[in-house]
Structure 1
């Protein structure tokens, strides 16, 4: 390798790995600064470094996703996906199937953020089918979870329940932390379907699961099920939204504030509904100002 080529390679990896470090510590703006420096050397890498380029594109798609820069995130994820898709072994089998699914997860997340639920569902189903082909249980569980999110947003609650149930069972078997996320969403959908007996059982089990994983976020979210459907306690609900605000979970704050406000509107409790609509508006403002950047990753 020529000295100049070696220098370019070192510069690329220095900035790339430093950016990855700051991404893990949730310093997203600093991470992006280093990634952009690394990108200057991307075209100077060895012609055989396609997978390194794909990995870089994927990392760029991640940081832009968390910064809610949807178009940039999707563009980089699609570029990474295209490269990974071309990588095959001597028998013609895909060698980066897992990475392809992860790219689809990012694309799915961006469609969801844009509230393009049909496009999100199409991407999530494709990712699920690809995950099944790979046989990676964690990816299969996560893909079912994503499909469930789509159906929940489309108010196709039976389909949402089915996929959340599968996701829960897979993550439960593996004792993975996503088990707690799955059981909350399953309890939430059951409650929305007015299957309150099942929702109560899942709520109680969910508390144990969240405690086992030390997942305070899910512990608080389960209070939404209790406060909205099981006991109807506005004070409990307000405590949940106070937690969202303290933890800068403005995406959750916006989504669930609208859900609570709609629920109250249907009960003709318009006075309290206004408060929660106002919370949703404030959360949207904070997201637009970049205040969500400290969200848990």
Structure 2
């Protein structure tokens, strides 16, 4: 059997990683199987195997995020991280970046925002090794996300604007554009500037409708409704909440309960 060069496997892993970033589950699962088959016949390369294990971790995080299951059956990410990081293993700058970056994502998912920022900051020092623009955008978005949750509004804005500028140049990353616009709007709302938040939420809704993503349409309609409600424009808010309810019922979206709750509060 002919040995497969590790470089060829690395290219395939990068492609797999790209689909993970796009939340394209079907293609991500397909690439995962292809990579697993290639690794069986690959030449020995410990760094490549470590990179593979890190992407497996990120793949599982994507699946957990998109398809949450019973908490008793969830992956023990902390234990998994300890296994893939190894002990006393010297990592290249690129692998160090991914290690810190994925660890930050793990800490963020647990609500440990300070620890997440610490890991992200370590990753940021290695960001110069990352040549792919989309991967940099992903890092900037994650930084914006954690600082938004920490209510560090201006720091969050600094990072999310960098992420959005990259994503908007690539048509295949419209979902991330929506995420960025939502973070921008959330920061403005934290500043009590609903009028400045509204255009970003409306743009997010426009993109969600353009790609016919009913789950994101539901969230966008709900967000626009909440924004109008925060501006005391209840008639406009009711209109968007009702549209959100229609889409949510068809999509079986979990936001339906919140939508009815918001409508109940307004009518009360």
Scaled to the shorter chain, the TM-score interval is 0.5 to 0.7
Match of 1:52 among 127, 130, 135: 135
Cross-structure match for 1:214: none
For residues 18-42 of structure 1, give each alpha carbon's deviation from its aligned partner in whole angstroms, at most 9, with x where no partner exists.
Answer: 0000100111100110000000011
Cross-structure match for 2:230: 153
Match of 1:175 among 252, 261, 264: 252
- Counterparts of 1:126 and 1:143, CA distance in 2: 9
- Counterparts of 2:209 and 2:250, CA distance in 1: 17
Cross-structure match for 2:151: 68
For residues 181-203 of structure 1, give each alpha carbon's deviation from its aligned partner in whole angstroms, at most 9, with x where no partner exists.
Answer: 11111111222xxxxxxxxxxxx
Following superposition, the deviation at residue 12 of structure 1 comes to: 0.5
Cross-structure match for 2:190: 113
Cross-structure match for 2:164: 81
- Counterparts of 1:78 and 1:107, CA distance in 2: 8
- Counterparts of 2:125 and 2:258, CA distance in 1: 39
Cross-structure match for 1:15: 100
- Counterparts of 2:161 and 2:252, CA distance in 1: 32
How much is the aligned-residue C-alpha RMSD, in angstroms?
1.4
Following superposition, the deviation at residue 86 of structure 1 comes to: 1.3
Please list, as runs of the form range in 1=range in 2, the aligned pairs for 1:1-297 lying within 5 A after superposition.
Answer: 7-45=92-130, 47=131, 49-87=132-170, 94-191=171-268
- Counterparts of 1:170 and 1:9, CA distance in 2: 43
CA contact (8 A) 2:218 2:253 kept: no
For residues 237-280 of structure 1, give each alpha carbon's deviation from its aligned partner in whole angstroms, at most 9, with x where no partner exists.
Answer: xxxxxxxxxxxxxxxxxxxxxxxxxxxxxxxxxxxxxxxxxxxx
Following superposition, the deviation at residue 153 of structure 1 comes to: 1.0
Normalising by structure 2, we get a TM-score of 0.65
Gaps of 5+ in 1: 88-93, 192-297
- Counterparts of 1:181 and 1:7, CA distance in 2: 46
- Counterparts of 1:76 and 1:31, CA distance in 2: 15
Normalising by structure 1, we get a TM-score of 0.59
**Counterpart secondary structure, 1:20:** helix
For residues 125-176 of structure 1, give each alpha carbon's deviation from its aligned partner in whole angstroms, at most 9, with x where no partner exists.
Answer: 1111121112111111111111111110111111000111111222222222
Gaps of 5+ in 2: 1-6, 8-46, 48-90
Cross-structure match for 2:4: none
CA contact (8 A) 2:105 2:116 kept: yes
CA contact (8 A) 1:161 1:190 kept: no
CA contact (8 A) 1:131 1:140 kept: yes
- Counterparts of 1:62 and 1:180, CA distance in 2: 25
**Counterpart secondary structure, 1:177:** coil
